[in-house]
Chain A
Amino acid sequence: MTKQFALGIFEDEDVLLHAVENVRAAGVKVYDVFSPYPVHGIDDALGIERSRLPIAAFFFGMTGLAFALWMQIYMLGFDWPMIIGGKPHIGLPAFVPVAFELTVFFTCHGMAITFFTITGLYPRFKVPVMDVRATDDKFVMAIELDETSSQFPRLTQLLRENGASEVNQKEMTN
């Protein structure tokens, strides 16, 4: 499916932030903003909600901790108890290092997998890019157009007024 986009190209992050607010204030929906590095403050300007990844990370960590404790207690305490150095079968202090390491292991990998999955980041042979300069030195604001692209002249003017150095139209195929 092809979609039409108006792309406002900006040279500076502050100008971009200003423009995002004004464009949204003018009642235009911003499709996305592409930048070469994280622009602080853009979350508020675009209305991106706070990430729930830290909550997920916490639960991954707890899973790891529970798994590690269960594993050690089950293996050494119940499945195959052995007397090692005359110590109790379930010696919790000795289980702390492995429990800690597995907590970290589960947190890190669980969160990384979640991050790549929910953001839709996965290896592709060809990546559809709006404007190749967005990973170099330009800040790109993309606004979706309808089939006739009738709003394009008006958007061009709006983006220009808010500091876009150029405005392009681009067709994207998903």
Chain B
Amino acid sequence: MNFQLSEEQQMLADSAKRFVRDNSNVESHRQNKKLMPLNEATWQQLAELGWLAVPFEEEHGGMGMGPLETMVLLEALGEGLIMSPYIATVVLGGGFLRRADAATQAKTIPALIEGRLQLAFAAEEYERVFSLENTTLQGAVKGNDVVLNGTKASVMNGDQADLLVVLVRTAGQPGDKEGLSLFLVDANAEGIERAPHRMVDGRQGAEIRFADVSVSQDACIGELNKGYHVAKAVLQEGLLALSAESVGSMSVLLDDTVEYTKTRKQFGVPISKFQVLQFRMTDMFIAMEQTRSLLLASTLKYVEGHADADKAVHAMKAQLGRAGRKIGQEAIQIHGGMGMTDELGVGHFVKRLTAADGLFGNADVHLRGMVKPA
């Protein structure tokens, strides 16, 4: 057992922290939140720093790293208010591309690494509590084509994406793991309509409607009707990345809250002197460290392929939700009125944690997942 960062991982963490220090500020974040196209300049910076290359093979120009390095990078980036579609494009989108056929990989991954290609994973649906097997978007097989009909909801990066990975039911019923297929679809294909919207954390999302969208079976990632396991593996990498980013955000909320109580005076003393607040900040700290422990547990078990890795990932996502809400709520309460304003970073980090809980199954969904392992 060794939980120390390698030299390479330490460098990654240090440079990401430096980037956050130089590029994250509340004011530009607030401006950025307006629904607008991708901040190309920031994305190009991430590309130039090599971070878009982290999880890809060297033959495509990647760095040949894995979820551990993604964890290190995203935890550091999570300490800043930097709005990037990293998880949607690199972790989820890239995760599917890495599992696509060789020709698709050669065509797409280098472009992604250079910052020229955006992706989104279209999985969530309206009025369906999220789980992969709860998918209903219909794919009717017609010869070599599959015709897609239905709507995907809350698609992270859905409007900016050039390519969509769509989770489709090509056979069976909601609840069946069999009969799910994944298609790589041009986001501007005929029959696709996108309604862009902001997400609560300022990220950009979209509702995506499919009306008789015809795709070739060649665009299937993995085998037709056997998409569940591919989707699960990529989703787990996405959840680990989301969790790493969240741990970074939790640490900022705790630090900001502790600092605030040292400077805010009421009744003639800094409010940090009140034991009731000290205990609550202590509980915030404990919740954060427990989350960090589960982040390590789930990432290491996933990377090393342990039998209980699934359970650990569920535990992680559930902890993210519960600890994220607790830490966020306490950070606002202890900041008082100031915590309720758009001016301070606090609210923006709270929104990020709240969104992270809601996406791809919230705490309840994943606790249930632990009871009935997939």
The finding on whether chains A and B are genuine partners in a shared complex, rather than unrelated, reads no
- A residues touching B (Cβ–Cβ < 8 Å)? none
- Which of B's residues lie within 8 Å of A, judged by CB? none
